[in-house]
Amino acid sequence: MFGIITAFAIIFVVIGAGYLLSRVGVIAGEKERDVINRVAFYAAVPALVFSAVADTELEELISPVVGVSFLAMVVTAVLYILLSLLFLRRDIPTTAAGAGASVYTNTVNIGLPVMVYVIGNSTYMAPIMVIQIVFFTPILLAGLAAGGVSLPQLLKRSLLSPIVLASGAGILVALSPWEVPQPILEPFNILGGAAVPLVLMAFGASLSSTRVLESKVDRPSVLTASAVKLIGMPLIAYGLGLAFGLAAEQLYAVVILATLPSAQNVYNFAATYGRGEIVARDTVFITTFAALPVMLGIALLFGR
């Protein structure tokens, strides 16, 4: 359990650094914060995505835990979209940001140590990351870009985004027998290493301008997305796990995976596109703080 606390501590410290830098004027305003988000979106995150996907063994994608987790993401996303469009009456970009925050989990900073220290098996994290990048990211980016944009422009902004292109290149490398030489791969690893700190610091800097849940217009969407992520998705994952007859250890893994907090990448995407930014940011903030006690409760329910 100490490893989980360490993972959360890393997140909070780097977010706090971004917040303090904004408060003292080092990151002076929205314009400079936008530069950090864009550097992450167009350079650091694609480098991280390419190196991670290219290094994935395709056999890892074939697993009952991964399959049920994927179905849980799809069902959860559909649930939030219906709630947002039918009851909250939000537009497509804001709905996309909330849906992304409801299913896009933090697989690196928190997910990896959680799997190691709670489940004792980290092999699920790479395929979950690949599924999120390859399947959900193009849909999320298309949703954020929707509204006042022609279909060709929409396809261009979603399918030809740096992150989607990087994931496609990574898949081609993973499918081929060719192994990327270290002189080529290592620069991607180094650049990708900057992705997480940049995204977290930009996220922290955004907290200095407005308070969480301050926007009355976005508050229902934030609370709904947070509840769907921390309560709805674990329950959906649990139900699907039972339906597919997962063993007790696999069922526990599926539920813990579903409880991981929203990934800061969703905020980075929303901030870069300038759509649904508050919904993404506040949901990430709430789920990051609330996920730990929820996971501890789940562990107790499973007798761990």
105, 237 in Cβ contact below 8 A?
no
pLDDT tens figures, 105-135:
987 667 766 776 677 766 687 788 888 888 8
- Cα separation, 292 vs 16, in Å, equals 18
Q: What are the sequence ranges of the domains in the chain?
A: 2-301
Query: Can you tell me which residue has the tokens 């359990």?
Result: 1
Q: Would you say 114 and 261 are in contact if contact means Cβ atoms under 8 Å apart?
A: no
Residue-wise pLDDT for 222-274, tens only, equals: 999 999 999 999 999 999 999 999 999 999 999 999 999 998 889 989 998 88
For residue 2, pLDDT over 70 is answered with no
Residue 105 bridge partners (DSSP):
262
- 3-state DSSP assignment of residue 262: strand
Query: What are the DSSP calls for 101-165, one per residue?
Result: HHH-B-IIIIIHHHIIIIIS--TTHHHHHHHIIIIIHHHHHHHHH-SS--HHHHHHHHHTSHHHH
Average pLDDT, the chain: 86
C-alpha distances out from residue 164 to 48, 70, 301, Å: 12, 18, 38
Q: pTM of the prediction?
A: 0.84
Question: For the chain, where are the alpha helices, taking DSSP H only?
Answer: 2-23, 29-39, 45-54, 64-83, 92-103, 112-114, 125-131, 137-145, 151-159, 162-175, 182-193, 195-206, 219-227, 233-243, 248-259, 264-273, 277-301
Specify the pLDDT at position 223.
Answer: 97
The CA-based dihedral angle spanning residues 282, 122, 132, 280, taken in that order and rounded to the nearest 10 degrees: 0
Residue found under tokens 């898949």: 171
Q: What tens digit of pLDDT does each residue of 161-203 get?
A: 888 888 888 888 888 887 778 888 888 889 988 888 888 888 8
The answer as to CATH 1.20.1530.20 being correct for domain 2-301 is yes
- What span, in angstroms and rounded, lies between the C-alpha atoms of 16 and 277? 19
Tally the residues of the chain. Answer: 304
Q: Exposed, middle or buried: residue 178 (CB in 10 Å: 0-12, 13-18, 19+)?
A: exposed
Q: What average pLDDT does range 200-211 have in this prediction?
A: 83
Of 89-103, 184-198, 268-282, which range is least confident? 184-198
Task: For 37-83, write each residue's pLDDT tens digit.
Answer: 889 888 988 888 888 778 777 666 678 999 999 999 999 999 999 99
Per-residue pLDDT at 160: 76
